[in-house]
Structure 1
Amino acid sequence: MKLLGTMEVRDNELYIGGVASTELVKNYGTPLYVIDEKLVRNTCKSYYDAFKVKEGKNRVAYAGKAFLPMEMCRIINEEGLCLDVVSGGELFTAYKAGFPLEKVFFHGNNKSHEEIKLGINLGVGTFVVDNLYEIELIDKYAKEKNVVQNIYFRITPGIEAHTHDYIQTGQIDSKFGFTIDSEALDFAIKTAKEKENIKLIGIHAHIGSQIFDIEPYGDLVRLMFTLAKRIRDEFDIDITDVDLGGGIGVYYTDEDEPKSAQQFCETIVNKAEEIAKELRMEVPRLVIEPGRSVIGNAGSTLYTIGAIKSVLDIRKYVSIDGGMTDNIRPALYNAAYECALANRMNDEEKEVVTVAGKCCESGDILLKDVEINKVNSGDILVVPTTGAYGYSMSNNYNKTPKAAVVSVMDGNTKVMCRRQSYEELIQLEN
């Protein structure tokens, strides 16, 4: 297993943020999400610096769907990032955390009346508009509030990134956005221009997630700048902002070769300057929306190993006290991870096992045929890179309470989300 961030091995035991795994388990139980706060902050700083946010040119918006407790809102705000939300719940979380809502981008392909009203009433900076229906709703509620609401149009650019089908979003056949260079887009631009309580200031595109090849982002810059120029020339609308989404991949296994935040940002910034010069236009303010690459490697999950079952000449099953309720990605699209025994990192005797979750589902398999140190019941299993889409996609299947989330830094711990109790599990029921 690759050590990430502040991970280190002391006396045969895994430490994260200067805290021993056994101490974390003793104090907070398992399953337990552990967030390496120093790695989160360092990654935010890398994006902030490399994307020239300090110079006032561009913006980095953290994609909250990856992981968004209130404490995460506070961290990204302290590090100078904006925030991308996709629901009323995420927006309300940001509001309750004291996040400045003028720095929020509100996404979603089917925002409800209630969500749009909430966003306008709370003062969301920018709505990212997906369709004509939403234009009418935003204009209606902005008029009631007597405000002019800034919007971007979400564009489907026709770029198919090499990633899993479920997390591709840039291809033409997508539920998201207006197809680039289409009659529908032109009609939407004309419609927005006629509205008194809407101001179209930007265009947005997102080509997918867990992408390792930077080249598609260069193609995206060209398409979006060309579109921005066309909107200016044909509709007399100045597109001041171009949002290129997120999607940069992270390390999960040794098959992954992700680019750094610096490489990602420099490629976009340099390409933007080159293409703007070629098109004889000013470089718009650029926005990117990293989510997984900010929080993914910073999160790990600790489990306690229980039952162990050997099927002769076939497989050895090692069962943990979590599974698809705290990490549904392997069951959903065969996501791969690494793992290790956090309490015995350097033991020499190895074996191949399949790590099974505790849910009453045959598909609740977290890792299949992985080599780790010889396992005993009571050992602590660590699965790294669960910061993104672990807690945020967790669920109560089989009436399983949600796990706790603890951040660690410089030997200190902080509860970001406490463990759900059985009483809290049924509190909405009659």
Structure 2
Amino acid sequence: MGRSVASNALTLFIVLLVAVAGFLEWSRQQFTGPGPLAQPICLRVDRGESLASLSGKLEKKGAISHAMLFRVGASYTDKGNKLKFGSYLIPKSESMKGILAIVTKGGQSTCGTEVNYRIGVTASTLEVRALDPVAGQYTQVASYDPVTTKTPPADLTRAEAEPDTRYRVILAEGVTSWDVLNALRHVDFLSGKVKDTPPEGSLSPDSYVVTKGEALDSLIQEMQGRQKKILAAAWKDRAKDLPYKTPEQALIMASLIEKETGVAQERAEVASVFVNRLDKGMRLQTDPAVIYGITKGHGVLGRGLRQSELRAKTPYNTYQIDGLPPTPICNPGKEAIEAALHPATTKYLYFVANGTGGHDFSQTLAEHNKNVEKWRKIQAEQQKQQQTGAPKNGN
């Protein structure tokens, strides 16, 4: 009888071992295998949130099948106390192991709301965007100009109340330092003040990730630091025999190029015209410099130049002065700086708009005059269409 009891006990023990092994294998598969999530979701991990709270949230959202198993797995992998605050995109069918890796890795949030402040040449636009996790794309929630509109939209107020909202400041090529500082003074997600306008040309047109409450002065310093690095690198690798001898002069040239064309492929050709003119002792005769002398970079002129302004001898009137103006006339981007220091090799001395957004280039004054006449006809036709409301290009 004793042998029978021992045999039964051994059999039961083996059965229990098999059951435990089966349960452990099932648990492993549940933890590492595809999860039940039918479509992507945004998951917010609150600051200081517990593992128990997060696992319950995940189970309620249908991202995991067993909250307790998620907690056990987190503890077993020593990640139970390593949750990182933020909003995260959880992909469709993500495993418990994968979700745990996402919420403990940290870094910039991959989901939720972001505020992008775009500072342009003619206007500034603050956009509130939210990620649609299913489409995998950001959609605009609200948009307004803080400089011209005193009352922000309610969606911005709600976004600023969320602790994990991300902020970005984006400078367009060709903005002036006054434009930048004026725009930044009209938002409340930056702190502190900057007394003096940064030197023209010293700010790098780029995208800047900022944190709410970051010092305005700190952001300006980062913009200046990036521009210094770009200019130093381009100057070190510059072409030979350029008609400007210092990085500061190259920056002035880059600002003229930036304001003369919005077509990337033309920058080096525009640079060649200015370089050729300087080499021949010709005046640059560039309207944007004259305009800067009038506005001092404070907004746009909003009208054409008058003959009296073209005749006035000011430091920025390149129809009346020899060589470069005394300072940059805007903050040029990296491509314009590269063009100034690596101009195309051409014999061009003139260029004029051609109605397509680009320019026609020419070597002689006779060719240039023909192009100017062509451009004036295009202008006249455009004005006629605007007055009559007729569709352009026959459409």
TM-score, length of structure 2 as denominator length: 0.26
Tell me which protein shows more strand as a share of its residues.
1
TM-score (norm 1): 0.25
Considering fraction of residues, name the structure with more helix: 2
Q: Which has the larger radius of gyration?
A: 2
Between the two structures, name the one with larger relative contact order (CA 8 Å, sep ≥ 6).
1
